[in-house]
Amino acid sequence: MPVEESEACVVGVDYGTLSGRAVVVRVSDGAELGSATHDYPHAVLTEALPDGTPLGHDWALQVPGDYVEVLKVAVPAALKAAGIDPADVIGVGTDFTACTMVPTLADGTPLSELPAWRARPHAYVKLWKHHAAQPQADRINDLAAKRGEAWLPRYGGLISSEWEFAKGLQVLEEDPEIYAAMDRWVEAADWIVWQLTGDYVRNACTAGYKGIRQDGHYPSPEFLAALNPDFAAFVAEKLDQPIGQLGDAAGTLSAQAAEWTGLPAGIAVAVGNVDAHVTSAAARALDPGQMVAIMGTSTCHVMNGAEVREVPGMCGVVDGGIVAGLWGYEAGQSGVGDIFGHYVDNLGAEWTHERLTELAAAQKPGEHGLIALDWHSGNRSVLVDHELSGLLVGETLATRPADVYRALIEATAFGTRKIVETFTAAGVPVREFIVAGGLLKNRLLMQIYADVLNMPLSVIGSEQGPALGSAIHAAAAAGAYPDVRTAAAAMGSVDQALYQPSPDHAAIYDELYAEYSTLHDYFGRGTNKVMRKLRAIQRKVSA
Amino acid sequence: MPVEESEACVVGVDYGTLSGRAVVVRVSDGAELGSATHDYPHAVLTEALPDGTPLGHDWALQVPGDYVEVLKVAVPAALKAAGIDPADVIGVGTDFTACTMVPTLADGTPLSELPAWRARPHAYVKLWKHHAAQPQADRINDLAAKRGEAWLPRYGGLISSEWEFAKGLQVLEEDPEIYAAMDRWVEAADWIVWQLTGDYVRNACTAGYKGIRQDGHYPSPEFLAALNPDFAAFVAEKLDQPIGQLGDAAGTLSAQAAEWTGLPAGIAVAVGNVDAHVTSAAARALDPGQMVAIMGTSTCHVMNGAEVREVPGMCGVVDGGIVAGLWGYEAGQSGVGDIFGHYVDNLGAEWTHERLTELAAAQKPGEHGLIALDWHSGNRSVLVDHELSGLLVGETLATRPADVYRALIEATAFGTRKIVETFTAAGVPVREFIVAGGLLKNRLLMQIYADVLNMPLSVIGSEQGPALGSAIHAAAAAGAYPDVRTAAAAMGSVDQALYQPSPDHAAIYDELYAEYSTLHDYFGRGTNKVMRKLRAIQRKVSA
């Protein structure tokens, strides 16, 4: 077998919330030959800038140089771990958290790297979980509903404070100087590709899901001017850029990026992509009705559909948003593993996830007498409201930590069921549920999800789903396969129906889910606005 | 000064949930000369009888011999600590938890002391917080409402599962042999006086509040027969007994009790009483509108009124229930200190009440963004529903243990405000709020209560309020004063308006209380029955 067939490799780089992971993958069969991770030196800035400048409530920033460090450290380390000749690498692909936004000059230089702006919070990367643009999101939603904007139903009727327009409007209104200095407002998914190739190509996925680009158009200047007259030219001046399709090449690896990474200059660099969306390829789940849930600190749900439908509270539906030729649907849960982690962190040192899971696993469904709402980080789908917060009902003096822990797991499962049912009810049926992400290691959690959903759960075969997905896109971009679906069939992997629901458990969970749904609608759909009120009081007294 | 005037003393004995406390008090001025406590060897039985016989959910039993041990151990120890001549003691008074019920033979022998019944749970004392008679309470309430029983409004429209009839009916229906063997169904408050004097006198207080005795009558045989034909003669055969007024002598100390206690035989023994009700005398708070809150693991509210009114959800209104000549009103919160204790116990060893209080005290009202419902032990007033449970709303990933701790304190304060407002709205205005009980030591809690109620808080002067109150009743029973009010004026003590509300805090708490009230009514008044449903599911899956 010629070397170029048997040994060809690709590199996938997955940019997460706290670190970047590079993996070297064999093109022929998807074998993962080596990987390495690198933690971002600045992690997430929530309290202050590196120089001590304080940040407001709900802020979450990052430092763009940290992303480049991943190229310099993790990619060479992964190549070394794989033990391959870097010359065998024919392409590189990346995926990123989204919507994570970098304010840059026209050449891509992040404003936070300029001495003039270094002490200005708005000069930094706004991470996906920066939630301080909620007032702007509220106004965008109100105005869009009032004007009957055609794009609004494509986002389940509400756009999120996490997305490009809300965050961009926040920059304008809170720091107009930074807004003026900002030539481009760039998805980090595209910014990293720009660093690799030297060219700025905007990927179809984030442009659609986070940039409100539908049927080739962004929101109109009239709409933007009605939000704020100075925002009228936002799209034309800061945002618009030629679109690249997922799986295509955005360009080739520049000499500088070759030097950073140790990869050959000139190899294909795939169009930027999003961590959740590339995972569908890694899980070989690109057919309509195959919902992939990437479950970690939060959960993202992605699924293809043959047609466009309006699903209430989905994050979005984008033509070619997951794979070319199908409509990509996205939904999400803002907090999942985060919620469990927070609960454990607040308990004393004697409590661990393992111990709580062991005790919780000894219980029957319904035994603890609790129901929780999983909104500690707000609710992304199907309510799209980051002012919501958590709830626990049923506590008595007999309640023990493992009871609460199990109730929190169940709450996230109920939240997932709410999403699945909403899709199905909207004419986008969920036929298979495939889990990826770190939480699949918790077997109790997986069984609870199977029981609550009353569906078998399939499980991705790779422990590095997003990085493998990026590698699959790299293989397609390099032309090793005709398209992403063919590449995914050869390189992805899945264990089908690994967890089966128990009918007895499912029956109890049906009863509990009915109660969850009542609470969900009462607190989440405006009957009782106590959660918003509590945040408003909190802001008032903390001001 | 003649010895009999200067040195005359009385002994008060307070029977709490876990221990009994004896205090020796000077009759002339209420000075507490010495005290001692004795823990009940069997504490509270919730899981099993001493022989291992398991108990059901929501059971709480005690062993009557433990009460006699208090007479044998704590009274002599208190006399010794006081350094007085026991011959100077002219009377003894007692108070007890209520409704705590002892099933006995005709001579007062507890059934649990008979070998034949020793392994039978229903032969034991049912402690006030035995909540397993809720189904019986529900039926009593349904039937009383249907028949329009005149006594029902005297109990706020609902009687409690904690009381004499619900607990008695549970005995009949779950263990008819024990019911048949039970000649008397005796309040522990009266049983201990029976042990001291050799005679059974039923006190007006528990007969009224817990025994549904109103205007000289108990529920009719027709009513009882409609509940269960075998229950028709319950009053006549098990319950009825001559009534003694509070502050009167029930009799004199028997030779046997003199031997147990070291007190002179033949001295006055006051009619039995209840811990909360005697505290009003100790706090010199016997005038209409002076509400005394005895705050510990739970809170009991007692207040005199000149007239009888129907207060929704009060525990009861009884002629002479606190002091002769006035209508005694009672309300309560099932869980207060219990709730804080449970929270701390679940956190782990590094957290203490002191540390949490210190951190919580550094916060402003509203800063934590939380609201809790204080129903971990159900709700006594104003909802009278022990199937309710706790709720916490507003938790985010930023929530810390001290936030929850403060929210729980606030929840109990909101619960108190609900009671105060309900009384005032029903035409029984609360003019002064006086705190007794262990929680008055927590200054943060006291300030929060002042701010939430927007009222000054007065504080009882004694650290042993109930025992002092019992001693005051002993002094009246012995004839050292013409009545309890005169004795209380001389022997009781209070620090008036020790805590003042902050107008700024009160304004924020008004906003939070409005939210609490909405949640209170939504979950507590039947709009959303999730709390009952969760308990029903819990029972079903645990069966």
pLDDT tens digit string along B137-178? 999 999 999 999 999 999 988 898 999 999 999 999 999 999
DSSP 3-state assignment of A115?
helix
Q: What is the ipTM of this complex?
A: 0.87
Distance CA(B105)–CA(B64), nearest Å, equals 13
pLDDT attached to residue A1: 35
Instruction: For residue A505, give the chain B residue with the closest CA.
Output: B541
Model confidence at B94, pLDDT cuts 50, 70, 90, reads: very high
- Cβ-Cβ contacts under 8 Å for A28 (sequence gap 6 or more): A5, A6, A8, A490
Model confidence at B2, pLDDT cuts 50, 70, 90, reads: very low
Comparing CB atoms, the residue among A391, A397, A399 nearest residue B338 is A397
Q: Per-residue pLDDT tens for B290-344?
A: 999 999 989 999 999 999 999 999 999 999 999 999 999 999 999 999 999 999 9
- A94 interface with B at CB cutoff 8 Å: no
Task: Report the share of chain A in percent with pLDDT over 70.
Answer: 99
DSSP A30-53: --EEEEEEEE-TT--BSSB-TT--
pLDDT attached to residue B349: 85
Comparing CB atoms, the residue among B347, B397, B533 nearest residue A338 is B397
pLDDT attached to residue B543: 84
- A46 interface with B at CB cutoff 8 Å: no
> What is the pTM for the complete model shown?
0.88
Comparing CB atoms, the residue among A508, A530, A542 nearest residue B367 is A542
- B376 interface with A at CB cutoff 8 Å: yes
Burial A459-493 (b: 16+ CB within 10 A, else e): bbbbebbbbbbbbbbbbbbbebbeebbebbeebbb
pLDDT value at A3 more than 80: no
Indicate the DSSP class of residue A522. Answer: H
pLDDT attached to residue B348: 84
Q: Per-residue pLDDT tens for A180-220?
A: 999 999 999 999 999 999 999 999 999 999 999 999 999 99
pLDDT value at B391 more than 50: yes
Nearest to A375 by CA among A393, A357, A402: A393
- A519 interface with B at CB cutoff 8 Å: yes
Mutation for A interface: B336, B352, B395, most A CBs within 10 A = B395
DSSP B162-187: TSHHHHHHHHHHH-HHHHHH-SEEEE
Distance CA(B381)–CA(B97), nearest Å, equals 17
Question: Which residues of chain B does A396 touch, with a Cβ-Cβ cutoff of 8 Å?
Answer: 376-377, 389-390
pLDDT value at A444 more than 80: yes
Instruction: For residue A542, give the chain B residue with the closest CA.
Output: B367
DSSP element (H, E) containing A23: strand A19-26
pLDDT attached to residue B536: 96
Distance CA(A465)–CA(A481), nearest Å, equals 19
pLDDT attached to residue B59: 97
CB contact under 8 A, B376 and A366: no
pLDDT attached to residue A319: 95
Mutation for B interface: A396, A505, A529, most B CBs within 10 A = A396
Q: Is B289 left (phi over 0), alpha (psi -120 to 50) or beta?
A: left
Instruction: For residue B543, give the chain A residue with the closest CA.
Output: A367
Whether B524 and B532 have beta carbons less than 8 Å apart is answered as no
Question: Which residues of chain B does A517 touch, with a Cβ-Cβ cutoff of 8 Å?
Answer: none
